[in-house]
Amino acid sequence: MGRRDDESFVEFVAARGDALLRTAALMCGARQDAEDILQTALEKAYRHWGRLEAGSDPEPYVRRILVNLVISRSRRWKVLREIQMARLPETQTDSPNHSVELRGTLMEELRKLGPRQRAVLVLRFWEDLSEAETAQALGCSVGTVKSQASRGLARLRERLGKNLAPLGR
């Protein structure tokens, strides 16, 4: 890889590294795991950096690698452990910590979704990608993104309904 490629890679990581780390953390739930996954994704992207079309946006390519790594990791862990579906804790709406508790509960429930649904929800609603951009990142159709988002949101609503109801008042 040439010096220009090295420079463009360093510039890309400096500009988009934090956003990619945030995406990875939301998908896998733990910052340390997210850092490891991002490092692996960047290593894989670096190996093929010179092959990327000049002037093209490398972020969808790197994000796709990242998502694939998160999904692969999730599949491996699923074989090793059974995810427990604990009851949601009761929250007090008059508590000053209610939004913090709700956010923690949401993150906990997000981690319980399958890796594909979790990836769709993170990319669509946290990273604010369009359905087409999400489909590209995941290597699937727009229809799949729509159905996975709908199912994932329905599961979250089902599990979080009693905790979200006070927010609608």
Provide the domain limits for residue 78.
1-82
CB atoms within 10 A of CB 43: 10
Under 8 Å CB-to-CB from 151, ≥6 apart: which residues? 117
Between CA 5 and CA 89 the distance in angstroms is: 50
Q: What is the pLDDT of residues 56-66, one digit of tens each?
A: 889 999 999 99
Q: What is the pLDDT of residues 120-135, one digit of tens each?
A: 988 888 888 899 999 9
119 has pLDDT over 70:
yes
Which of 52, 82, 112 is at the close of a domain? 82
Give 127's DSSP letter.
S
Domain shared by 55 and 113, yes or no: no
Domain shared by 43 and 57, yes or no: yes
Side-chain half-sphere exposure of 95, counting CA atoms within 13 A:
11
19 has pLDDT over 90:
yes
Q: What integer pLDDT is reported at residue 109 of this predicted model?
A: 84
CB contact at 8 A, 31 and 23: no
35-44, 75-84, 141-150: range with lowest mean pLDDT? 75-84
Which of 67, 82, 97 is at the close of a domain? 82
Domain shared by 168 and 102, yes or no: yes
User: How much is the average pLDDT of 70-85?
Assistant: 54
pTM recorded for the entire structure:
0.54
Per the structure, how many domains does the chain have? Answer: 2
Higher local confidence (pLDDT), 169 or 96: 96
Which of 82, 116, 143 is at the close of a domain? 82
Q: The domain spanning residue 30 has which CATH number?
A: 1.10.1740
